[in-house]
C-alpha cells in the first residue's frame, strides 16, 4: 500500500497539471465578461435619440432585431421539420419492412394451420398406439413435440410483428400530426415576418425622405462610421489580452484565407463612397439568407446590433487581427464563442438600412482596416 507522503505528492502533481487550464479558462471568461459589459455600456451611450433621425434609427433597430428573432424561430422550425421528415422516412421504411414480414409470416401460419388440420385427421394417438417399437414411438413423440414448438414460434413471431407494426403505425400518426402542427406554426411566423418586412420598408422610405441632400447622407455615414470605430477601439483595448491558441497564426495566412460568403464584390476597399469617404472593406452582394462563414479560427468578441452595420459579428483571430461581418439577418454565434475556419456564424441579410442583401466585410490589424484582397484566396 502506498505511503501517505507519496500519495500526497502524486495528488500535488495532478493538481499542478489540472488546475492551470481550469484557472486559465475562468480567467479568459472573466475577460470576455468584462469586454461584453464595457461594450454594452458603450452601445447605450451611442444609442442617443436627440434628433428625428436618431429616433428613426432606433425604430429601425427595434424592427430589425424583432425580425432577427422571428427568423431565428423560422430556422428552428425548419430544423424541426427536417428532423421530423427524416424520422417519418425511417418509419415509412420500417413500416414497409414489417408489412412484408407480416405477409411472409401470414403465409407460414396458413401453411402450418393446413398441416395441423391434416395431422389432426391422421389421429396421432391411434398411430402411436399401433406402434410396437418403443424407439419408433420415442422418435415420433419427439417429432410431434418439435412440430408443436415450431408452430408456436411461428405464431408468436407473427403476433409480435403485428404488435410492432401497430406501434410503428401509431408513431407514424403522431409524427405526421406533429409535422402538420410545425408547418402551421411556420406559416404563422412567416406571416409575422412579412408584416415586419413591410414595416421596415415604410420606415426606410420615411428615413430616406429625411435625408434630402448628399451632405445629409455623408453626415449619416460619418456618424455610423464613428460608432463602429468606437466599438473597434473598445475591443482593441481588450482583445490583445485574450489568448487565441492556434497552430496556424493569422499573419501567416495572407492570400490563403477562404471567402466569407459566396458573392461578388459590389464595392471594394478604398473605392469612393461619397465626397471625402471611402470603403474600408468589401460590400459583397450575396443571396439572401446564404451562410456567412468565419475566415479563420478565433473567438467572437462582438455579436449584436450596431447602427449602420445592422447585425454585426466581429471575430478576434489573435495577433491583433479582427474580421467583421455586417448587415446579417440573423446571428448564429454569441460573444465568447469559439469559431473554426469555414464555420457558419450568420446569415446574409440587409439589416442596418441596406436596400439589398449583402455582406459588409472587413479585416482589421491593430484596429486599422486593411485590404481583404491581400488576405483572401484569389477567385478563378
User: pLDDT tens for residues 277-295?
Assistant: 899 999 999 999 999 999 9
pLDDT score recorded for residue 347: 96
Instruction: Report yes or no: 327 and 349 within 8 Å, Cβ to Cβ.
Output: yes
Instruction: Report, as an integer, the average pLDDT of 25-35.
Output: 73
pLDDT score recorded for residue 380: 62
pLDDT score of 209 more than 80: no
CA–CA distances in Å: residue 42 to residues 35, 262, 338, 351: 11, 33, 24, 21
* Angle, alpha carbons 220-226-227 (nearest 5°): 95
Instruction: Report yes or no: 235 and 322 within 8 Å, Cβ to Cβ.
Output: yes
For residue 183, the Cα-to-chain-centroid distance in whole angstroms is: 20
State whether CATH 1.20.1560.10 applies to domain 214-380. no
Q: Indicate the DSSP class of residue 374.
A: G
Other C-beta atoms within 10 Å of 158: how many? 18
pLDDT score of 33 more than 70: yes
Helix 4-46 to helix 214-239 angle, to the nearest 10 degrees? 170
Distance CA 287, CA 335 (A): 26
Instruction: Report yes or no: 143 and 122 within 8 Å, Cβ to Cβ.
Output: no
Instruction: Report, as an integer, the average pLDDT of 323-339.
Output: 95
Categorize the per-residue pLDDT at 55 as very low, low, confident or very high, splitting at 50, 70 and 90: confident
Torsion-angle region of 314 (φ positive above 0: left; ψ -120 to 50: alpha; else: beta) = beta
pLDDT score of 130 more than 60: no
Instruction: Report, as an integer, the average pLDDT of 242-269.
Output: 89
**Residue 307's closest CA among 207, 206, 197, 193?**
207
pLDDT score recorded for residue 214: 63
**Residue 341's closest CA among 365, 372, 317?**
317
Categorize the per-residue pLDDT at 48 as very low, low, confident or very high, splitting at 50, 70 and 90: confident
Residues in the chain: 380
pLDDT score of 129 more than 80: no
Amino acid at each position: 500500500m502506498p505511503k501517505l507522503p507519496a500519495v500526497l505528492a502524486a495528488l500535488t502533481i495532478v493538481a499542478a497539471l489540472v488546475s492551470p487550464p481550469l484557472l486559465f479558462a475562468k480567467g479568459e471568461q472573466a475577460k470576455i465578461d468584462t469586454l461584453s459589459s464595457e461594450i454594452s455600456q458603450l452601445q447605450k451611450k451611442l444609442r442617443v435619440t436627440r434628433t428625428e433621425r436618431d429616433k428613426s434609427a432606433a425604430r429601425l433597430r427595434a424592427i430589425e432585431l424583432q425580425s432577427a428573432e422571428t427568423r431565428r424561430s423560422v430556422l428552428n422550425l425548419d430544423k424541426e421539420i427536417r428532423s421530423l421528415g427524416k424520422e417519418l422516412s425511417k418509419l415509412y421504411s420500417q413500416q414497409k419492412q414489417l408489412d412484408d414480414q407480416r405477409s411472409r409470416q401470414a403465409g407460414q401460419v396458413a401453411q402450418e394451420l393446413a398441416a395441423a388440420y391434416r395431422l389432426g385427421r391422421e389421429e396421432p394417438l391411434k398411430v402411436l398406439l399401433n406402434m410396437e417399437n418403443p424407439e419408433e414411438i420415442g422418435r415420433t413423440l419427439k417429432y410431434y413435440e418439435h412440430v408443436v414448438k415450431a408452430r408456436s414460434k411461428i405464431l408468436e413471431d407473427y403476433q409480435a410483428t403485428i404488435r410492432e407494426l401497430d406501434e410503428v403505425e401509431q408513431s407514424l400518426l403522431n409524427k405526421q400530426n406533429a409535422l402538420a402542427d410545425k408547418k402551421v406554426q411556420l406559416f404563422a411566423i412567416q406571416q409575422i415576418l412579412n408584416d415586419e418586412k413591410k414595416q421596415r420598408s415604410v420606415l426606410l422610405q420615411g428615413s430616406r425622405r429625411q435625408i434630402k441632400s448628399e451632405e445629409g447622407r455623408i453626415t449619416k455615414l460619418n456618424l455610423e462610421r464613428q460608432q463602429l470605430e468606437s466599438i473597434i477601439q473598445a475591443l482593441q483595448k481588450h482583445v490583445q489580452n485574450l489568448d487565441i491558441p492556434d497552430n496556424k497564426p493569422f499573419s501567416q495566412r495572407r492570400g490563403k484565407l477562404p471567402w466569407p460568403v459566396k458573392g461578388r464584390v459590389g464595392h471594394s476597399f478604398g473605392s469612393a463612397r461619397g465626397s471625402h469617404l471611402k470603403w474600408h472593406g468589401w460590400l459583397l452582394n450575396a443571396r439572401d439568407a446564404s451562410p456567412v462563414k468565419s475566415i479563420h479560427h478565433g473567438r467572437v468578441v462582438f455579436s449584436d446590433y450596431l447602427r449602420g452595420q445592422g447585425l454585426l459579428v466581429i471575430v478576434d483571430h489573435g495577433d491583433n487581427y479582427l474580421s467583421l461581418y455586417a448587415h446579417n439577418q440573423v446571428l448564429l454565434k454569441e460573444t465568447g464563442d469559439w469559431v473554426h475556419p469555414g464555420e457558419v456564424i450568420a446569415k446574409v441579410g440587409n439589416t442596418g438600412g441596406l436596400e439589398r442583401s449583402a455582406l459588409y466585410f472587413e479585416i482589421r490589424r491593430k484596429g486599422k482596416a486593411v485590404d481583404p484582397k491581400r488576405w483572401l484566396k484569389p477567385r478563378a
